[in-house]
Amino acid sequence: MQELRSACVALVVLACCACNAPEKKPAPAPSASAAPAAAPVKLPWPIELATEAILIADVIQIEGPKGLIEHVAVRQEGENIAYKAETTTEGFLQVWTPKPGLEVRGQLDNCVLAALQRLTVLERPG
């Protein structure tokens, strides 16, 4: 019985030693030689897309240069719209296909889009 009590006391002491808080080390000072991050380059974009418009079609295909996907927004309707994205030899291709009787809704800057069968966006490299 004495050995069991000694073993329990030893176990409690070891557990207390293992649970001490580690010393907090101060965060290193920022290096004065770190170069500031370069400002993002604003790519040219046609101002004609700033005017309001509506485009309704069975199939809408949009192709453009690098930065195109920053101007496109498409509503994700869960299981009602199939979405596929892949990198091809032409660039980054995104395709939205709605279930029959539904449509894909999106926007290209101020142009509202409604595709009844398919909406395709291809961002070409460079």
pLDDT at 26: 72
pLDDT at 8: 46
Give the chain's mean pLDDT: 80
DSSP code string of the chain:
-HHHHHHHHHHHHHHHHHTPPPPPPPPPPPPTTPPPPPPPPPPP--GGGGS-EEEEEEEEEEEESTTGGGTEEE---GGGEEEEEEE-SSSEEEEEEEPTT--EEEEETTEEEEEEEEEEEEE---
User: How is the chain split into domains, by residue range?
Assistant: 52-123
Q: Is 80 exceeded by the pLDDT of residue 61? A: yes
Q: Is 60 exceeded by the pLDDT of residue 115? A: yes
Q: Mean pLDDT across the stretch 20-31?
A: 65
Give tens-digit pLDDT for 66-93: 989 999 999 887 889 999 999 999 999 9
